[in-house]
Amino acid sequence: MTNLIYRIFRTEGRLKRLLFSVIFAICAASSADAQGTIGHAECCGRQDVILIRGGLGYWPGAKALAEEFRCLGYAPSIIYGWEAAATARKIACAHQRCKMAGGVIIVGYSSGADAACILAQRLETYGIGVQTMVLIESTLGTPVPGNVDYCINYYASRKLDMIPMFRGIPVEAESPCTIIHNIDVKEFPEFASQLKRNHFAIGSTTAMREMATGAVVARQPALLSSPDSPIIGGIPPLPVLR
């Protein structure tokens, strides 16, 4: 019996070490992503786009979306939700040194959409506004702060909406001055392809990437054209909002 208990504790120890190793790997990857430069007014004149991953860093389509923004003439950075405060300080520092090219643009997926609102709240304390915010499948429906000029929230209503980790829900704006659109993809025929995607897949589809980049370009075309891609070409128009 003593040997059995000892083996159980040893097994538990291995599981703990494995768990800690996974957490350490995630944090290490987080630190690597966090090293991206914020503020490109002096070097290339590109406008920053902050992409925020979902819980535990989940967002398989984040790098593909970042690359599309880069080809469109923006300067994307991918962060994790828990880096919102540190990123706000970086933006504030770049803003103070006049290194921000254009307004702040934030794109968040899943719990990263809620973190996007937290990032905006942090920026509000520094007196910095957010020009455009794109949310994809907000899980908690965190209110959009009053320093956000425009927010578009893409989501799909589902039967499992009572479970946060499986859902996307509408969000509300704290200020009547914020232009906000909640788009349930079920209400628009042009988004029919998204209905087959669950919460964990919808944020990584080609169509959703086009919707996210299209929303940003429609609000603010890149300040500096990228030589390898036209700025507006290939971007689908936004749906007629009802």
Average pLDDT, the chain: 77
* Distance (Å) of CA 57 to CA 53, 135, 162, 172: 5, 16, 22, 25
Given this model, what pLDDT does residue 37 score?
76
The pTM assigned to this predicted structure is 0.76
Return the pLDDT at 129: 93
b/e for 178-211, b at 16 or more Cβ within 10 A? bebebbebeeeeebeebeebebeebbbbebbbeb
What's the pLDDT score for residue 164?
A: 64
pLDDT at 118: 95
Quickly list DSSP for 155-207.
Answer: E---TTTTSGGG------BSSTTSEEEEEEGGG-GGGGGGGG--HHHHTTSHH
Is residue 14 scored above 60 in pLDDT? no
Q: Residue 201 pLDDT > 50, yes or no?
A: yes
Distances from the Cα of 42 to the Cα of 66, 72, 101, 115, 195, angstroms: 21, 19, 8, 28, 43
27-31, 67-71, 216-220: range with lowest mean pLDDT: 27-31
pLDDT tens, residue by residue, 112-154: 999 999 999 999 999 999 999 999 989 888 999 999 999 999 9
What are 213-237's pLDDT values in tens digits? 999 999 878 765 444 444 333 334 4
d(C-alpha 8, C-alpha 29), whole Å? 32
For the chain, list the domains and their CATH numbers.
36-219 (3.40.50.1820)
Beta bridge partners of 78: 51
Lowest-confidence range among 8-17, 135-144, 166-175? 8-17
